[in-house]
Amino acid sequence: MSFHAYLFFGGDCRAAFTRYQEVFGGDLEVLTMADAPDGEGMPGASPDTVLHAALTVGDGLLMGSDDPTTDDPGPVQGVMVSYSAADADEARRVFDALSESGQVTQELIGTFFSPAFGMCTDRFGTPWMVSAEPATEG
């Protein structure tokens, strides 16, 4: 069994997932209303409305779509997307990229549980926790 985050956007899902692919790499698949068979889409939705986006990075999967019922789904509350980087340098790169034009809620700092941990909300309204794996003793 596995769990995957599924994010909803108010019309900017494609932009968000394009940015996430720039930050994390991986393979991005986007299905829009224009891709739906006749009569299978949501009535009144734009052909550019994203029905489903999937970013696969290694064995990780982040999914999302536009919510065609609203232009503003409101802030995401009660949940954060957590990303664990291999080391502090990668955590810094990802944190800086995600927080660009967003809001930092916890600066990226060393803690007792991680050499780099921080929290931010990106410019698309997605809250993130970024951490680095502790160094292994060898």
Q: What is the mean pLDDT of residues 119-137?
A: 92
Does residue 75 surpass a pLDDT of 80? no
Q: What is the pLDDT of residues 28-70, one digit of tens each?
A: 999 999 998 887 777 778 889 999 999 999 999 999 999 877 7
Does residue 26 surpass a pLDDT of 80? yes
In CATH, the number for domain 81-132 is: 3.10.180.10
Give one DSSP letter per residue of 49-66, joined into a string. -EEEEEEEETTEEEEEEE
Domain boundaries, the chain: 6-66, 81-132
Structure tokens at 100: 């660009």
Mean pLDDT taken over the chain: 91
| Confidence (pLDDT) at 138 | 58
| Reduced 3-state DSSP string for 115-127 | CCEEEEECCCCCE
| Confidence (pLDDT) at 137 | 64
Domain 6-66 has CATH 3.90.950.20: no
Structure tokens at 10: 């108010």
Task: Tell me whether domains 6-66 and 81-132 share a fold.
Answer: yes
pLDDT band at 18 (very low <50, low <70, confident <90, very high): very high
